[in-house]
């Protein structure tokens, strides 16, 4: 996996910006969750300060990944479009204290470092945005689609096999 290493606190203090793309094949944990390793995700980071004077990273990730529909087992495209605010702490104890101080579910507090790997954060963000059970709204083969609210009868499945 390619790495983009920054000093997280200096990045925020100097209000730096970085952006780029990463092929899905270069992100091994993500590649293991996809139908194929085609495509890429685009990412950007902007450093700054939280209004309460904590180091803050603003991260945006976009792209498309191919997942396997759990209903029909055919590939499906899943759009990624996330915006995340990350506040940096020096250690776990400080992260817990900041979390309590901010009391904001829209902000994630992480332990930062002088060797913060931005690609690791990108891969984590994409993995967190994937559905637990990806499904087409309507499966392309039509036969595996399920009508919400009306469970399929197990005998209907047997009837189809009999034909």
Q: Evaluate if residue 118 carries a pLDDT over 90.
A: yes
How much is the average pLDDT of 17-39? Answer: 94
Average pLDDT over residues 116-127: 96
Q: What is the mean pLDDT of residues 33-48?
A: 95
Residue 147 CB: number of other CB atoms within 10 A? Answer: 7
pLDDT reading at 149 higher than 60: no
The answer to whether residue 136 scores a pLDDT higher than 50 is yes
Beta carbons within 10 angstroms of residue 93's beta carbon: 10
Q: Give the other-Cβ count within 10 Å of 87's Cβ.
A: 23
C-alpha neighbours within 13 Å on the C-beta side of residue 92: 0
Task: Kindly tell me if the per-residue pLDDT of 162 is higher than 90.
Answer: no
Least trusted range by pLDDT, from 19-23, 49-53, 126-130, 145-149: 145-149
- Residues 68-82 have pLDDT tens digits of 999 889 999 999 999
The answer to whether residue 163 scores a pLDDT higher than 70 is: no
Q: Tens digits of per-residue pLDDT, 123-133?
A: 999 999 999 99
- How confident is residue 145, by pLDDT bands cut at 50, 70 and 90? very low
Mean pLDDT of the 143-159 span: 58
* Mean pLDDT for all residues in the chain: 89
């Amino acid at each position: 996996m390619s790495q983009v290493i920054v000093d997280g606190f200096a990045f925020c203090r100097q209000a730096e910006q970085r952006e780029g793309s990463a092929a899905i094949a270069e992100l091994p944990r993500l590649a293991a969750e996809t139908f194929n390793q085609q495509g890429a995700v685009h990412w950007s980071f902007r450093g700054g300060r939280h209004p309460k004077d904590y180091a803050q990273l603003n991260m945006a990730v976009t792209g498309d990944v191919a997942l396997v529909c759990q209903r029909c087992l055919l590939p499906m495209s899943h759009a990624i479009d996330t915006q995340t605010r990350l506040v940096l702490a020096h250690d776990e104890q400080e992260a817990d204290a900041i979390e309590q101080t901010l009391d904001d579910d829209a902000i994630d507090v992480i332990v930062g470092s002088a060797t913060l790997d931005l690609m690791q954060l990108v891969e984590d963000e994409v993995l967190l945005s994937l559905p637990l059970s990806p499904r087409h709204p309507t499966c392309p083969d039509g036969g595996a689609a399920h009508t919400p609210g009306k469970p399929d009868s197990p005998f209907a499945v047997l009837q189809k096999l009999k034909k």
